[in-house]
Structure 1
Amino acid sequence: MKTRHGAFAYTWDLVGDPAAAERIAGLGVSTVTLQAAYHSVRATTAWHPRHRIVQADHAAAYFRLRPDRWRGRLKPYAPSWGVPDEDRFGTALAALAGAGLRAEAWIVLTHSSVLGREAPDLTVRNAYGESYPYALCPAQPAVHDYAITLVSEVCEQYDVPALMLEACGWLGAEHAGHHEKTSGAHLSACGRALLSLCLCPACRRGLAERGLDVEELARDVRAAVDGELQQGVPAGESLGDALGRERAQAVYDHRGRVIAGLVRAAAVPAGGRELLLMATDDPQVTGPDVGIDLASFDAPVDAYVLKCWGPEEAALAQVKAAASRTETPIVANLTVLEDGHARIPALAADLVAGGARQLRYYHAGLGSPARLASVRAAARVKERQC
């Protein structure tokens, strides 16, 4: 079976640079995962004829915005950076098609600091009552509707064969933004997971429906977190240790129901397009890759995109475990931005042998020449053993 290779790219890598699409095609990939709606970021543009740094100050929609389609409280902002173009996604799509490349729409659903600051009541709220403005809560009906409208607008306006959904659930306490000053407290993974548990009104209702005493849950979360922060007492290895297995499972079941509902709703406007879900096979996880039980997830997903960054052994083990637990195809997301990028071709071959059916490389616009050379070499991995 042939292995599909693809690379991530931003619209600003392509718009205004007539050579960009052919340059990406020269990496040997057949597919480009192109940002249609994205969070704030500061990015280099090494090859662009007009700029070297793009400062995307807020989350934005890069497709053509049609005001009459946005009737709820949440409405995406247009970008004001890079080369002016009211339809940057469409312009970039046309360039990629001209180079013979297949493009899929990369849509970030619940990560938007600008919208979270405007509507704090729709954001993730921890057990202390504190809002995470970068994290819209998908259990909130207004957030659900906003996310599905993003998907609908992309599908109605553009002929893309696939959608890659990022942040299709909850973002948690960890957020790579501002000048982070949270690491010195040395919260464990379990402590961070406790701080990532959303207790906004919508999540309180969902958890109460599963038989939880939400006030008691909030008190126990606070006690466990404070025990780590103030006394150095570990909360445990997992939410099950800290909260008890039944309560932890109720949290996971609530999250799974909301995420699956969002994916099922997105499948309607997708209209047969492939749905690729950025995920991890650990329901405790929050973040851009949703934590779910891959074996029991009840939604029409065409592939799970697993982030294979960090230690190679862990990446390979993750893919092998996921491939053994689900018949849904696995897409391995590799980064060439870390040290050790020269190992990417060998890792790609190992991941394919371990069960990955597709590979995506992060990132065609951010990689140095040496790192992009690693993508070219990795793209020569043609088949997986079936």
Structure 2
Amino acid sequence: PGDAYGEAAAALAQAGLEVHSWVVLAHNSRMGAEHRDTSVVNAYGDRYPWAPCIAQPATRAYLVDLAAEAAVRPGAAGTELESLGWYGLQHLHAHDKTGGVGLGEAGQYLMSLCFCPSCRAGYGERGLDPDGLAAAVRTALEPVWQGLPDDGGWAGVEKLLGAEPAAATRAWRDATARSLQEEAVAAVRAAAPEGFQVLLHADPVSFHVGANPGVDPAHILSVADGVVAPCAGGPALLTPFAEQRRDSAVIAANLTVVSGMGGSPGTLAADAARARELGATEIRLYHAGLASDEDLEAVRKGLGAL
């Protein structure tokens, strides 16, 4: 009850900590449950109610408005925009049973291609027949269901689907995500005071999907003030952003510090040092609010060693 955000922001400010908002955008199972037509539809006709399709005009308008309204809060000096791009099969909002067959990068991409009316029209604009493409995706996935290894990377997508149709789907999805990111960041800046920082949770491989959607590093650093890159699997994703050599850009390494979530709070100092070597300008600790007392003590020691 009451103004939970305001109380938290005041307490943080009193403790000398700068407040930034954190807004989750294209990941919303309630929206999909109440408005079914907004969801991503895969090549088999299944809807992903947790994944709004970012190609749909009404959904895009909603996400842009939400970004500005939720990000610019009283007392906030900046924001981090999560899932501002394509979402897919991963990270459901249900007790899902999708782990029986391990999907690599290629399988995840194919299972995340959307065939809602907006995306079908978009594929048509790229010279693809939507029905033929959906059939091709289903055919391409058959070896995956049979347990054959996923070659991984974009080469794996091209091998399964064919180079030309794969490139056309990626061109459509990349352009759609880019324009949404530009619109959302512009809306936040228009609503925010001067100097308000806008960061995106992002992955430097543009065909990746999820809470840290794929982006083109050069493009996104020309649009936003920087990125927050996931480092649960190591800090390698920082390098493509750092290679842009933009002196003013924030490149934040998101380090998992909760043991129960696979994090390693005891190696925080070493992990942060390695991230700095690869170009990180800041670190994030994911997620202090979920950490045990033991994890928090390890984090304190790690911060003290930095």
Q: TM-score, normalised by structure 1?
A: 0.70
Distance 1:308 1:355 in 2: 13
Please tell me whether residue 329 in structure 1 is matched to residue 250 in structure 2: yes
Please tell me whether residue 232 in structure 1 is matched to residue 147 in structure 2: yes
Residue pairs, 1:23-172, within 5 angstroms = 84-85=1-2, 87-154=3-70, 157-172=73-88
Match of 1:241 in 2: 159
Distance 1:144 1:250 in 2: 21
Closer, same or farther: CA 297–254 of 1 in aligned 2, 3 Å: farther
Distance 1:107 1:207 in 2: 30
SS at 1:178's partner residue?
coil
Match of 2:286 in 1: 362
The one-letter amino acid paired with 1:285 is H
Flag structure 1 segments of 5+ consecutive residues without an equivalent.
Answer: 1-83
Aligned-residue offset at 1:377: 3.3
Match of 1:264 in 2: 182
Q: 1:287 aligns with which of 199, 207, 210?
A: 210
SS at 1:295's partner residue?
helix
Closer, same or farther: CA 361–138 of 1 in aligned 2, 3 Å: same
Distance 1:157 1:336 in 2: 27
Match of 1:372 in 2: 296
Aligned-residue offset at 1:268: 2.8
Closer, same or farther: CA 158–253 of 1 in aligned 2, 3 Å: farther
Flag structure 2 segments of 5+ consecutive residues without an equivalent.
Answer: none
Distance 1:148 1:285 in 2: 21
SS at 2:283's partner residue?
strand
Tell me if the contact between 1:261 and 1:299 (Cα under 8 Å) persists in the aligned partners: no
Distance 1:326 1:232 in 2: 42
Match of 1:275 in 2: 198
Distance 2:72 2:214 in 1: 29
* Deviation larger for 372-381 or 130-139: 372-381
SS at 2:254's partner residue?
strand
Aligned-residue offset at 1:299: 5.3
Tell me if the contact between 1:260 and 1:299 (Cα under 8 Å) persists in the aligned partners: no
Closer, same or farther: CA 153–320 of 1 in aligned 2, 3 Å: closer
Aligned-residue offset at 1:334: 0.4
Tell me if the contact between 1:124 and 1:131 (Cα under 8 Å) persists in the aligned partners: yes
Distance 2:164 2:4 in 1: 47
The one-letter amino acid paired with 2:238 is V
Tell me if the contact between 1:107 and 1:166 (Cα under 8 Å) persists in the aligned partners: yes
Aligned-residue offset at 1:115: 1.0
Tell me if the contact between 2:257 and 2:291 (Cα under 8 Å) persists in the aligned partners: yes
Considering Cα pairs closer than 8 Å and 6+ residues apart, tell me whether 1 or 2 has the greater RCO.
1
Aligned-residue offset at 1:163: 1.2
For residues 303-353 of structure 1, the C-alpha deviation after alignment (integer angstroms, 9 at most, x for no partner) is 11110003xxxx233223431246343110001012532111111011112
Tell me if the contact between 1:127 and 1:195 (Cα under 8 Å) persists in the aligned partners: yes
Closer, same or farther: CA 205–357 of 1 in aligned 2, 3 Å: same
Q: How many residues align?
A: 293
Higher strand proportion (structure 1 or 2)? 1
Using the aligned pairs only, state the percent identity.
Answer: 38
Match of 2:112 in 1: 196
Please tell me whether residue 209 in structure 1 is matched to residue 130 in structure 2: no
Match of 1:15 in 2: none
Tell me if the contact between 1:280 and 1:292 (Cα under 8 Å) persists in the aligned partners: yes
SS at 2:45's partner residue?
coil
Please tell me whether residue 320 in structure 1 is matched to residue 239 in structure 2: yes
The one-letter amino acid paired with 2:164 is E
Closer, same or farther: CA 317–274 of 1 in aligned 2, 3 Å: same
Please tell me whether residue 218 in structure 1 is matched to residue 151 in structure 2: no
The one-letter amino acid paired with 2:103 is L
Tell me if the contact between 1:349 and 1:378 (Cα under 8 Å) persists in the aligned partners: no
The one-letter amino acid paired with 2:239 is K
For residues 46-104 of structure 1, the C-alpha deviation after alignment (integer angstroms, 9 at most, x for no partner) is xxxxxxxxxxxxxxxxxxxxxxxxxxxxxxxxxxxxxx22x322222122112221011
Distance 1:330 1:323 in 2: 7
Distance 1:135 1:227 in 2: 26
Aligned-residue offset at 1:157: 4.7
Distance 2:20 2:250 in 1: 16
Closer, same or farther: CA 152–317 of 1 in aligned 2, 3 Å: closer
Tell me if the contact between 1:256 and 1:297 (Cα under 8 Å) persists in the aligned partners: no
Distance 2:305 2:178 in 1: 33
Closer, same or farther: CA 335–375 of 1 in aligned 2, 3 Å: same
The one-letter amino acid paired with 1:129 is G
